[in-house]
Amino acid sequence: MKNRTHELIDTEPARLDLENVVVAFNGHAILDNLSFEVPHGAQVAVVGPNGAGKTTLFKALVGLLPLRRGHIRIHGLPLGQHKDCVAYIPQREEVDWRFPVTVEEVVMMGRFNDFGWLGRPGPEDHEAVLRSMTQLGITKLAKRSIGELSGGQQQRVFLARAIAQEPHILLMDEPFTGVDVSTQEATLDLLDELRSRGVTVMVSTHDLNMAAERFERILLLKRRLIAYGTREQVFTREHIAAAFGKQALILDNIVVVDDCCPGDEHEHGRTEEIP
């Protein structure tokens, strides 16, 4: 079977580049002048306070939100030029779990671009779906409705769908929130495997200490880029104060954040008018 994960990586500059990206909502900047580069195979934790723009960033990277200004390039080409290049796992609360679809059908959606609206999945598609479900331990759930599952099981289904897609880049929005310990460990094991396969991963999380322990790069946002680099480069008192203000303390190299008031990114935090 052809391995699409490495189809383009071997022949092109394999990285994700953002240059002066602005994403706006109702005339106000949610992400403002954002520029950074993610090398091939890197694993990046995206952190910041509620309303910092983490979800907005991921949606922009998969074309769900338009850019007001700036450029996003993958393998040196504009966003959308590479088939199935980027897989996105949204936060659980953004999914309508009442939709009448089975686990197997959800995972098969990761293969959609291979056979399209009018086509039928082939043997390679079924093989990829089975392999992904086996890896996440959900084969026994294949015929169950997605709405009948626990939060941890639903998370595993979406992980399996993303893996079945065989992406070059995987975006995971708060995958550790509201799941059981076994699902969290399965997710971390998957990250280790993806690292060995050279898949680029970006994960948003509120757990700053997990970000420091498990990820080689950290992207700290507060609508603008506060800092990007290693734990030592990013988690300084100056950067933490710029992002979290009085909400955060650094105690014995552990970051403590009082983040008690979650809300929609479009409603919380200061925004700046787009001229």
Q: What mean pLDDT value characterizes the chain?
A: 83
CATH of 4-85+167-273, one of 1.20.120.530, 3.40.50.300, 3.40.50.1370, 3.40.50.150: 3.40.50.300
- Count of helices and strands (H, E) across the chain: 9, 13
Query: Inter-axis angle of helices 123-135 and 151-165, to 10 degrees?
Result: 140
Structure-token match 């479900």, residue found: 133
Give percent of the chain with pLDDT exceeding 90.
Answer: 48
Residue 240 pLDDT > 70, yes or no?
yes
Domain boundaries, the chain: 4-85+167-273
Q: What is the pLDDT of residues 94-148, one digit of tens each?
A: 877 778 899 999 999 888 876 665 668 888 999 999 999 999 999 999 999 998 9
Q: How confident is the model at residue 264 (pLDDT cuts 50, 70, 90)?
A: very low
The per-residue b/e assignment along 6-19, b for 16 or more CB within 10 angstroms, e otherwise, is ebbbeeeebbbbbe
Q: How confident is the model at residue 270 (pLDDT cuts 50, 70, 90)?
A: very low
pTM here is: 0.83
Distance separating alpha carbons of residues 165 and 135, to the nearest angstrom: 14
Residue 61 pLDDT > 50, yes or no?
yes
The per-residue b/e assignment along 83-113, b for 16 or more CB within 10 angstroms, e otherwise, is ebbbbbbbbbeebeeeeebbbbbbbbebbbe
Distance separating alpha carbons of residues 130 and 238, to the nearest angstrom: 48
Q: What is the pLDDT of residues 206-231, one digit of tens each?
A: 888 899 999 999 999 999 999 999 99
